[in-house]
Chain A
Amino acid sequence: MPMWEESSLVRVVPTARPRKLAKVPFVELAAGRLQGVVSSGSDVSRVYVSSVASGDFAFACRTNNNRPCGGARGGFCNHIGAMVGEAVLQYGGARVARYLQTDTADGDAAPTAQQLAAAMSAARPQQAADAQAVTGQVFARFLRHLAYLELPATTAPLPEMHWFPTAGAVA
């Protein structure tokens, strides 16, 4: 694809798709993990910080105060399931599968959240050895993300944005 390599303006990352944030306010593919923040169903001031690593699917789910989630002892808990579901909404199943390197990545159709979770569970993933540290990192990423809301708009010219044309209709 010579045209692609010689273009200044190719879209490398597709635009995220809109989704409702009430249950899972944050999800991202970063640092080699699918990671996110899931609201607690019972306590409005508590969130669960969930993650699944790319490749070996080592998982972690702990509260924002870094206490272990009771549901994530032997395998994926409901929070991780909800996070996978919202990641598929936001990024599309194909991109999530590719990032996590699941077997479903090879198929023609984009895998559903259920197929992704089932494929990962079938590999009998383990709790991440560094679950506590990962939780801290993911929560910090979430807070950093929230900080974007506090940054003011500006009417100063921003010529660098010409390298980021709007991505148009979402594929």
Chain B
Amino acid sequence: MMRADLLTGELPGLDEALAAVDAFDQVLAGGLLRPQPAQAAGLTALANAVAGSPIAALVAEAAEKAAAGVAGEEHLLALAAGRTALFGAVHDAVVARVDEATGRPREATPPFEPGAPLPANLLASARAWLCDVARAGWRGLDHELAAGAAQVVSALLPAPELRRLAVLLDGFAAELAASCPGRTLGRIPLRRWADLWARGMLLTQPGAVTGAGAGAETAALTGRLLPLGVDLHEHATAVHAQVHAVFEPADGGPARLVRASVSAPKPDTVVGAGVWQLLRPHLSLLAAAGEGHAMELTGMPVTDEGDLLWSEERTRVDESADVFTTARVALPTVRAGATAPLDRHPARIAEPVLVEGYTVDRSGDEVAFVVGGERLAVDTGRLPAASPLTAQAVAGSRACIGLLRWDAGRFLLQPLAVQSAAKSRTAVVQAGAWAGGTADKSGAKAEKAATDTVTVLRERAGRLLRS
């Protein structure tokens, strides 16, 4: 049983770390072209916060140069690294609290192994754009600067090993473009944009990610895969689904938490239920999860983080498996995966948990579960638009499988599946129920619309790209 009381307690040192982050994030609002005294203070705050770390000297020098308005790319990179290190510490504190609450053992973090070098010219052009952005600042954004990412992204996207950076920059640049001109911005997503900027900067470092764009394969799994639910991510031109599951080895060894991912670039007009058809052909697990089936794996490669490197020929659909049975029987004894060094950021935390025995509190403007007197906010905003799992279904539930997340200083529960509280029904509703296809009228209509969209665009592409 999850100890929800631990999730509301204070995390030691958190406020100090976030204060330094916030101070630095304000610096990026004004940009580093002509830094003002307040920005110099923000830079110093960042440098002071990492003063005890191995990169202390680098960040201190970078802060000094930036405050004087003479920061080069290497200095901006050091600032991004300093900010990332602070969030690494926050991540570790949050994960320690999660593990305490779930009582789950976790694999140790593997040492950082630099990946194979990636095309240096492409990384350099991405870094140059990010540095221009940092100099202009969010208030200095203009259309020309935002549009400058298009060429960089187009060059990055076709290379599989650069996909992570490409997709990040694409989504980031779209937000900047929609927010131009920066001088008229009413409010600024300070932490978010600084996150995306800093992450982009680190990903432009040769060796930051391995050739496959993911963690290295460390084992091959043979046994049974029991899905828990599907987590969907998307921006205008990319969609990504991640299936969380429990893996039970055939040799009777300890069960572990694993994930399988699939992503696809997309035109911005393919939305809602239409995104599933882009992903479905590449990950049979989506359909299995949606339809409530387990899968047999034979020699499936996996990373230390628990990411399966999916290969269809190593799978077979198994008998049906109810997600709540999996959550009640298999989930309590699993080991959790490690976090890759570069992925130590609280936004990446997504820990599968089962929550039950709660009352639903709808008094505020959000849904919350009250467990043992403690309030756990439910992130109903993360429910897919095209899903039978609605905020109403969540509010009328008595048991919930969800991902424990942490954002803006607090824990949130992202529902993956709920069991209805109505006595007459024990219906289970899953967020990813339509991943494998749906007979639901509105879902089917949205799928058809997406098919039509792709058909029209292909037809246009056929005529125009030929001429």
Contact = CB atoms under 8 A, between A and B. Distances in A.
A28 B150 CA distance: 14
Interface in B75-101: none
Interface string A1-31: 1011111111111011111111001001111
B261 A7 contact: no
Given A166-B233, A168-B385, A146 B192 contact: no
A167 B236 CA distance: 10
A97 B380 CA distance: 29
- For chain B, which range describes its interface: under 10, 10 to 19, 20 to 34, or 35 or more residues? 35 or more
Contacts of A1: 187
A65 B310 CA distance: 45
B452 A12 contact: no
Interface string B17-37: 010001000000000000000
A156 B214 contact: yes
Contacts of A151: 157-158, 264-265
B447 to A, nearest CB: 11
A143 B464 CA distance: 8
Contacts of B233: 161-162, 164-166
A5 B263 contact: no
A59 B272 CA distance: 32
Contact of A155 (B165, B189, B261, B460): B261
A166 B266 CA distance: 14
Contact of A22 (B215, B305, B408, B456): B456
A103 B446 CA distance: 34
Contacts of B450: 18
- For chain A, which range describes its interface: under 10, 10 to 19, 20 to 34, or 35 or more residues? 35 or more
Contact of A25 (B196, B311, B460): B460
B171 A164 contact: yes
B425 interface: no
Given A45-B463, A153-B262, A161-B240, A166 B268 contact: no
Contact of A19 (B168, B175, B269, B409): B269
Contacts of A170: 272, 385
B265 A159 contact: no
Nearest to A145: B267
Given A9-B192, A166-B385, 14 more contacts: A12-B189, A20-B449, A31-B177, A143-B465, A147-B154, A151-B265, A152-B264, A158-B163, A159-B164, A164-B234, A166-B232, A166-B383, A168-B381, A170-B272
8 contacts: A12-B178, A21-B453, A21-B456, A31-B143, A64-B467, A152-B160, A158-B261, A160-B165
